[in-house]
């Protein structure tokens, strides 16, 4: 029989719970304290994990320590360590420890944050956090929304609300058109599909030489669609694209949306939090004019997965699109100023994502978070300087919001050979396990890409990855040894 059983049911005595909790705390703290000594990534094939991990459920239970050993030895080693100082790919998540504990408490109390009366304390924390975000982005009083599982869900929620606000009849909805740039995150396209916008009605607008949506192309696409009998309803601008950190011309798009009476949504999933810094606030000027904004606290606000956010200038638009009142929930209908977050989005049962944000921000203070974001911005600029100074490399997109794109470009290689060379460099650097970097394509060119958001990262880590990439180029560009 498993240890610590109090009665013949699922409840444990408090000594057993404390012991188990301490074991978990020790495990996580050991992991975080030794992150730098661990590889940045480690993976096994499905075949290998199958034999190492799979098996039938235990019929009679197991010893907790044995289970912990199993997880520590067989499961946890095989993952990419997002909070690692050498995790420089994609858009990483490096949570603070208080944020991790916030999630633990949300699970421990198991708050049901879908309706007000069932968790009014935690729900007030969510409203408080949403109001911080509103102020940080310069959105007007009254702006609010909800925390979501991630940025994709936030954008989906916005697209559904915008579609509802367009008040399309079933017949007309086949004519609704949505506009976003060719550099927008794929979640925009998917949100449109899920929301029932015909796939052919998602317009991909061309970008300029800095990967920003071209306002003239947007204007023309809208005019062409109106002339052809379509109903434009939504523009999704990007403020910090995933590829390069580009920010679309927010003021120009806001003016156009106002003139055309279109909903303006801005995907500021990670870069939105850079509004806390002076540099970021300047680059994001105009963001506050959006009708709605996607943010991802699990990216650059240093909280663990999962945590996205949708802010809406008029939260009633969310309620109009999503609220439904079945008779079995009459007892918990929102009254007076109460907010039922279930009325603002797709989820009824939802945990309190707000606690981890609140705990982390209050513990460190906004100035410390601001500094951590600013350091991430500067590290990418430092990486850009290193590669720009090396004649064998070329910057494909300068550092923006902690993202920099570049490629090796030794003389005398044609385009396909350059792509192949950089692909091999990427693979070589990743194969060591010491770093995780990721690639992308910019105007058809294979690009290496660094994202320098992880709060533990220092300039010395940038030096190390620079040396690893230069060494990979040296090996890959040398003629094979026979
Ligand atoms: C700009 C941008 N928008 C949206 C998303 C999707 O967010 P999530 O993965 O939290 O759903 C990402 C993810 O990297 C992103 O970079």
Residue 237 sits in a domain whose CATH number is 3.40.640.10
Mutate to test the pocket of ligand 1, among 184, 299, 345, 453 (most ligand atoms within 8 A of CB): 299
Residue 148: which pLDDT band, with cuts at 50, 70 and 90?
very high
Residue 83 near residue 94 (C-beta atoms within 8 A): yes
Distance 131 CA to ligand 1 centre (A): 22
Which atom of ligand 1 lies nearest, measured to the CA of 240? 1
Distance 404 CA to ligand 1 centre (A): 17
Cβ of 242 below 6 Å from ligand 1: yes
Q: What are 417-447's pLDDT values in tens digits?
A: 999 999 999 999 999 999 999 999 999 999 9
pLDDT of residue 2: 56
- Statement to judge: residues 113 and 74 lie in one domain: no
Which of 366, 382, 400 finishes a domain? 366
For 38, the domain range is: 16-81
**How many domains does the structure of the chain reveal?**
3
The stretch 183-190 carries a mean pLDDT of 98
Phi then psi for residue 179, to 5 deg, are -120, 130
91 found inside a domain: no
Task: Please give the span between the terminal C-alpha atoms of the chain, in angstroms, as a whole number.
Answer: 63
pLDDT of residue 455: 98
pTM: predicted TM-score of the whole model, two decimal places:
0.96
Which of 324, 341, 366 finishes a domain? 366
Q: Among 133-137, 163-167, 280-284, whose mean pLDDT is lowest?
A: 163-167
294 found inside a domain: yes
- Statement to judge: residues 47 and 184 lie in one domain: no
- Statement to judge: residues 341 and 284 lie in one domain: yes
Distance 269 CA to ligand 1 centre (A): 6
- Statement to judge: residues 135 and 55 lie in one domain: no
**Is 252's pLDDT higher than 90?**
yes
The stretch 169-194 carries a mean pLDDT of 93
Which atom of ligand 1 lies nearest, measured to the CA of 242? 16
What percent of the chain shows pLDDT beyond 90? 94
Cβ of 308 below 6 Å from ligand 1: yes
Distance 371 CA to ligand 1 centre (A): 23
Q: What are 377-425's pLDDT values in tens digits?
A: 999 999 999 999 999 999 999 999 999 999 999 988 999 999 999 999 9
8 found inside a domain: no
pLDDT of residue 218: 98
- Statement to judge: residues 28 and 129 lie in one domain: no
**Is 212's pLDDT higher than 90?**
yes
429 found inside a domain: yes
- Statement to judge: residues 124 and 150 lie in one domain: yes
- Statement to judge: residues 112 and 141 lie in one domain: yes
Nearest CA, atom 5, ligand 1: 151
- Statement to judge: residues 424 and 378 lie in one domain: yes
Cβ of 187 below 6 Å from ligand 1: yes
pLDDT of residue 171: 74
What is the edge-to-edge ordering of all strands in the sheet holding 445-451?
393-400, 403-408, 445-451, 438-442
Nearest to 415 by CA among 450, 447, 384, 440: 447
Lookup result for tokens 């390069």: 244
- Statement to judge: residues 249 and 330 lie in one domain: yes
Distance, in Å, from the CA atom of 289 to the CA atom of 250, rounded to the nearest integer, reads: 8
**Is 159's pLDDT higher than 90?**
yes
pLDDT of residue 185: 98
What percent of the chain shows pLDDT beyond 70? 98
Q: What are 6-55's pLDDT values in tens digits?
A: 455 899 999 999 999 999 999 999 999 999 999 999 999 999 999 999 99
Nearest CA, atom 16, ligand 1: 242
- Statement to judge: residues 221 and 324 lie in one domain: yes
pLDDT of residue 29: 98
- Statement to judge: residues 304 and 394 lie in one domain: no
Which of 339, 366, 393 finishes a domain? 366
Distance 185 CA to ligand 1 centre (A): 7
Q: What are 293-311's pLDDT values in tens digits?
A: 999 999 999 999 999 999 9
Cβ of 93 below 6 Å from ligand 1: no
Residue 49 belongs to domain with CATH number: 1.20.1340
Nearest to 14 by CA among 2, 23, 5: 5
**Is 243's pLDDT higher than 90?**
yes
Cβ of 296 below 6 Å from ligand 1: yes
Torsion 432-436-441-445 (CA) sign: negative
pLDDT of residue 481: 59
Distance 62 CA to ligand 1 centre (A): 39
Mutate to test the pocket of ligand 1, among 93, 147, 150, 295 (most ligand atoms within 8 A of CB): 150
Q: What are 65-108's pLDDT values in tens digits?
A: 999 999 999 999 999 999 999 999 999 999 999 999 999 999 99
- Statement to judge: residues 125 and 172 lie in one domain: yes
Residue 167: which pLDDT band, with cuts at 50, 70 and 90?
confident
């Amino acid at each position: 029989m498993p240890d610590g059983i109090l009665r013949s049911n699922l409840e444990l005595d408090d000594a057993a719970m404390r012991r188990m909790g301490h074991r978990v705390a020790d495990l996580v703290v050991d992991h975080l304290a030794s992150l730098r000594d661990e590889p940045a990534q480690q993976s096994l094939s499905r075949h290998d994990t199958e034999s190492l991990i799979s098996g039938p459920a235990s019929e009679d239970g197991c010893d907790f320590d044995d289970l912990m050993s199993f997880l520590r030895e067989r499961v946890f080693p095989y993952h990419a360590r997002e909070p690692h100082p050498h995790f420089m790919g994609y858009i990483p998540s490096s949570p603070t420890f208080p944020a991790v504990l916030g999630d633990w408490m949300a699970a421990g109390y198991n708050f049901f944050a879908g309706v007000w009366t069932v968790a009014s304390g935690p729900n007030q924390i969510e409203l408080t956090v949403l109001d911080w975000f509103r102020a940080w982005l310069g959105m007007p009083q009254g702006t609010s929304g909800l925390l979501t599982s991630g940025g994709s869900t936030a954008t989906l929620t916005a697209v559904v609300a915008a579609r509802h606000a367009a008040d399309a009849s079933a017949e007309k909805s086949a004519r609704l058109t949505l506009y976003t740039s060719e550099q927008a995150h794929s979640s925009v396209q998917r949100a449109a599909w899920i929301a029932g916008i015909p796939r052919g009605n998602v317009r991909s607008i061309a970008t300029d030489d800095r990967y920003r949506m071209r306002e003239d192309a947007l204007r023309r696409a809208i005019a062409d669609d109106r002339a052809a009998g379509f109903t434009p309803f939504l523009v999704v601008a990007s403020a910090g694209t995933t590829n390069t950190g580009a920010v679309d011309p927010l003021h120009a798009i806001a003016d156009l949306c106002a003139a055309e009476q279109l909903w303006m949504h801005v995907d500021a999933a990670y870069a939105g939090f850079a509004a806390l810094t002076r540099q970021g606030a300047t680059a994001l000027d105009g963001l506050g004019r959006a009708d709605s904004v996607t943010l991802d606290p699990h990216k650059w606000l240093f909280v663990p997965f999962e945590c996205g956010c949708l802010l809406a200038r008029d939260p009633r638009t969310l309620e109009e699109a999503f609220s439904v009142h079945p008779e079995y929930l009459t007892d918990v209908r929102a009254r007076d100023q109460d907010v039922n977050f279930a009325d603002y989005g797709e989820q009824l049962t939802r945990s309190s994502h707000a606690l981890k944000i609140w705990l982390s921000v209050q513990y460190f203070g906004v100035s410390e978070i601001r500094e951590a974001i600013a350091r991430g911005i500067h590290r990418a600029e430092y990486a850009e300087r290193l590669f720009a100074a090396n004649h064998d490399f070329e910057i494909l997109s300068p550092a923006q919001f902690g993202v920099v794109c570049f490629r090796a470009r030794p003389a005398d290689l044609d385009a396909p050979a350059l792509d192949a060379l950089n692909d091999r460099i990427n693979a070589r650097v990743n194969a060591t396990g010491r770093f995780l970097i990721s690639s992308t394509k910019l105007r058809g060119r294979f690009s290496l890409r660094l994202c320098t958001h992880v709060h533990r990262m220092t300039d010395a880590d940038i030096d190390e990855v620079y040396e690893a990439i230069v060494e990979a180029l040296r090996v890959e560009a040398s003629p094979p040894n026979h």
